Chain A
Amino acid sequence: MSGRLSGPGAWALYFITAMMMVFILAPLIVVIAMSVSDSYFVSFPPQGFTLRWYVKILQDRDFLDALRLSALLALCTTIGSLLLGVPAAIALTRGNFVGQDFLKGLVLSPLIFPALVTGLALMQLLAGLGFTDARFNLLIGHIVVTVPYVIRAVVTSLMLVDLNLEDAARTLGAGRLRTFWRITLPQIAPGVAAGSLFAFMVSFDNYPVTMWLANSEYSPVPLVLMRQLVNVFDPSVPAMSTVIIILAVIGVLILERLVGLRRAATV
């Protein structure tokens, strides 16, 4: 096969790549290693082995509440993003109207806008309107930042749908909705699933929007963790972080099963 790397230059490339892999994994491994350290302070090297920090955080009401809130928020965000994003993706791929490219730019624009400013602007609006329920405000903010991911993923898979199948279903008398449900949806299912999972994970980890919209009563996981970082110095912080890492790894594995990582990466 041509294009393979060879020669002394290749070794330099492999070396830098290996170093970068270490660079990428190092902070995660350090966190995991410290989470089982049998010491009262997080300090290197870790000592012994204990799971008591996990026992501690599993009894920590704040952390458990945050986990529940974040999971529920991410779930509702995903549903909201799908309800708004899938129709938009259909309009962008199946429609044929003036300003389609402009529309695409508009609906994807939250991606390039600094999320921190998105959150600030939204907080200002919602506070002005007197919306004080942090859960509702968080849901709105999270949908704004996740819906572009759903749209992008669904648009990509809609482009790959065989239009002749849709035509065939329509000529055979199926209505538009039925055609979509029975013909189109099964074909774009992986894209919809990937978009959903991405939306879920982006919502679960979001900080820059969340920091403006949460309050002391309703704080999602990233905010609680940030607070703990400043106030707590025992290995329960690495233990919480490890829980988050494990959840992320599960997410990545599901993503790979669903669509393959290379495709997921382009989402």
Chain B
Amino acid sequence: MTDGVHALAPPRGGLLKRIVPRLTPSAALLALPILGFLAFFFFYPAINLLLFSLLTQDAKGVVGRPFTLAHYIRFFEVDLYFRVFWNTLRISLITSALAIVLGYPVAIVMSRSGAMVMRIITLIVIAPLIVSVVVRSYGWQLILVNSPNGLLNWLLMSLGIIGSPLAILYSQTAVIIGSLHVFFPMMVLPLASALGKIDPNLEDSARTLGAPWWKVFTRITLPLSLPGLVAGFTLVFSLTAGSFVTPVILGGTTATMLGNLIEQQIFVVYDWPFGAAIAVVLVFVVFAINTVSMRLLEGRRLRSVQR
């Protein structure tokens, strides 16, 4: 497992099985620097944050004991906060669902086309990935502006399709559009790589045997590309749930998400324990989605082995 390529080499016999001792347990030492670094700057602060969310902040802003679950209770009891939680889940779910529906056609075309088309599509899908989220959300702001000065309204009004400007900006719809744009590559890339591994003969023979396209898709393409689908869904959902920039630029005050709430609690309200509690809720949401997806894939693999 550790040296997959090596396993393909012809086996060496007897005493000379390993002519050169490979780096084995001592190689673990090479991982010590990164482990130390992450332990101190990632794992420790993360656990600390969890602890913080269970502490009390007094009137002077000093955080300390007693331990309490009050912040979590407040979060789920106060309608305002709970709505932000619900909005975050909704926006993430709709964004990832749209990414699946629109990602499949793109990934299928990508994996079944000639080299040239594939290259162009890959380039277009990947290029924006590296452009700052701030720039991309700003681009959508320019398109969706609620006055006749926005691209979309200007276009639709010039064509006479609408009489008065649409008000899409500063709504959840705008955040979903922006998030879909920002995280679309995270769906297409795993999907395309999963689709690329499917033997085209399978689909061809199904078609020759008279299966209509939807049956070919649901019985062959979909099940075989499920790992890519689940990976893409998990990525898009987690990243959307944790976003901050897109809801600020495109959502305004109507589409506040968990990330914005955390920032407000820390930078504006200075309520550290409550901010930490919301952060823990966000982490929990992301972990839950990851765990469910992994279970889903493992369960499937197990079933196919038993069969």
- Residues of A whose CB lies within 8 Å of any CB of B are 2-5, 7, 9, 12-14, 16-17, 20-21, 23-28, 30-31, 34, 41-45, 83-85, 87-88, 90-97, 100, 103, 106-107, 109-110, 112-118, 120-122, 124-125, 140-141, 143-144, 147, 151, 159-164, 166-167, 170-171, 176, 201, 204-205, 207-208, 211-212, 221-222, 225-226, 229, 237-238, 241, 244-245, 248-249, 251-252, 256, 261-262, 264-266
B5 within 8 A of A: yes
**Residue in chain A with minimal CB distance to B50:** A121
Which parts of B44-79 form the interface with A (CB within 8 Å)? Answer: 44-46, 48-49, 52
Residues of A within 8 A of B185 (CB): 265
Of the A-B pairs whose beta carbons lie under 8 Å apart in the complex, a sample of 18, sorted by A's number, is A27-B143, A34-B142, A84-B33, A95-B2, A96-B22, A107-B34, A116-B279, A117-B242, A117-B262, A159-B3, A205-B132, A207-B133, A211-B263, A222-B132, A225-B138, A229-B138, A245-B135, A261-B119
Residues of B within 8 A of A164 (CB): 9
If A144-B38, A229-B134 are given as contacts, then 11 extra A-B residue pairs at C-beta distance below 8 Å, sorted by A number, are A9-B213, A13-B109, A17-B121, A20-B102, A24-B128, A94-B2, A114-B259, A117-B279, A120-B49, A162-B5, A170-B20
Whether A17 contacts B109 in the complex (CB less than 8 A), given A124-B45, A125-B41, comes out as yes
How far is B143's CA from A222's CA once the two chains are assembled, in angstroms?
20
Contact B124 A21 (CB under 8 A): yes
A244: which of B119, B135, B145 is its contact (CB, 8 Å)?
A: B135
Contact B42 A207 (CB under 8 A): no
A124: which of B48, B113, B143 is its contact (CB, 8 Å)?
A: B48
Whether A87 contacts B45 in the complex (CB less than 8 A), given A205-B131, A208-B244, comes out as no
Residues of A within 8 A of B110 (CB): 17
- Residues of B whose CB lies within 8 Å of any CB of A are 2-6, 9, 19-20, 22-31, 33-35, 37-38, 41-42, 44-46, 48-49, 52, 102, 105-106, 108-110, 112-113, 119, 121-128, 130-136, 138-143, 145, 147, 149-151, 153-154, 181, 184-185, 189, 193, 200-201, 203-204, 213, 238, 241-242, 244-245, 248-249, 259, 262-263, 266, 272, 275-276, 279, 282-283, 286-287, 290
Choose among B34, B139, B154, B249 the residue with the greatest number of A CB atoms under 10 Å from its CB: B34
Contact B119 A25 (CB under 8 A): no
Residues of A within 8 A of B28 (CB): 91, 95, 97, 103
How far is B22's CA from A95's CA once the two chains are assembled, in angstroms?
8
Whether A226 contacts B134 in the complex (CB less than 8 A), given A96-B24, A114-B286, comes out as yes
Residues of A within 8 A of B24 (CB): 95-97
Contact B125 A124 (CB under 8 A): no
Choose among A12, A20, A167 the residue with the greatest number of B CB atoms under 10 Å from its CB: A20
